[in-house]
Amino acid sequence: MSQRQRPTISPVTALLFQGGIGVVGALALWLFDIPLLTGELGLAKALIYGGVGAAITYLLLLQLTKLTWLFPDNLSDQMQALYEFAASYRWPALVLLSLLAGVGEELLFRGAIQGWLLQNTGPWTAVIAASLLFGLVHYVSLTYFVMATGLGLILGTGYQISGSMAMVMVWHAIYDMLALYFLLNYPSWFGVRR
């Protein structure tokens, strides 16, 4: 990564878009009067459980990508595109994007969507439906959809069981940071060419 390419999407645009997702989620929570689940976890435990959960989830998904029969198409093509996108940004922007994704996407998908579905269906229907929507929004290929839906199921289940929005926000943000760190520093693990 010695040569930095010019970003295809400016960092400001990417940050505004990612932050806008959180605004949409917060507005939906307010407009539809959707309560956030309030577990008894506390901030310190939310940070610890979120960090540990992110590391375990990332290692699990990293191992699953080695099982080529499990995924219907070649993941390395999607990883190559993600690598080129991420390599064009500096680390402060990538960390901020990860934080905004953790907060914004969780407010929207776990808070607003899963929360609204929880009010109108059963808890596991809410988790599954919100996770499928999460996968669809992240769709670049069938393989990436399966992986994103799986991550959504993990985060949705964590939110449903713990009742801690802070925990899933931390989990998501740290997961994204780990994914970007390893992709940029060990691209050969993913079949990516520098």
Is residue 25 in a domain? no
Residue 41 domain flag: no
Across residues 116-125, what is the average pLDDT? 95
Kindly state the tokens that stand for 139. 């769709």
Residue range of the domain that includes 91: 57-190
In a domain, 39, yes or no: no
71 within domain boundaries? yes
Give 34 or 4, the one with higher predicted confidence: 34
3-state SS class at 38: strand
Tokens for 72? 């219907």
Q: Kindly report the three-state secondary structure assignment for every residue of 60-92.
A: HHHHHCCCHHHCCCCHHHHHHHHHHHHHCCCHH
What is the spatial distance between Cα 101 and Cα 96, in angstroms, rounded to a whole number? 8
Q: Residue 167: which of 45, 22, 36, 21 has the closest Cα?
A: 45
What is the per-residue pLDDT for 1?
A: 38
Please report whether residue 72 resides in a domain: yes
In this prediction, residues 9-17 reach a mean pLDDT of 90
3 part of a folded domain = no
For the whole model, what pTM was predicted? 0.91
Structure-block tokens of residue 99? 């934080």
Angstrom distances, CA of residue 106 to CA of 4, 20, 124, 172, 185: 30, 12, 17, 8, 27
Residue 170 lies in a domain: yes
In-domain check, residue 43: no
pLDDT in tens, 136-161: 999 888 888 888 999 999 999 999 99
The torsion angle over the Cα atoms of residues 5, 177, 185 and 145, rounded to 10 degrees, is -80
Q: Report the domain count for the chain.
A: 1
The tokens describing 145, both together, are: 């959809």
Of 64-73, 84-93, 140-149, give the range with the top mean pLDDT: 84-93
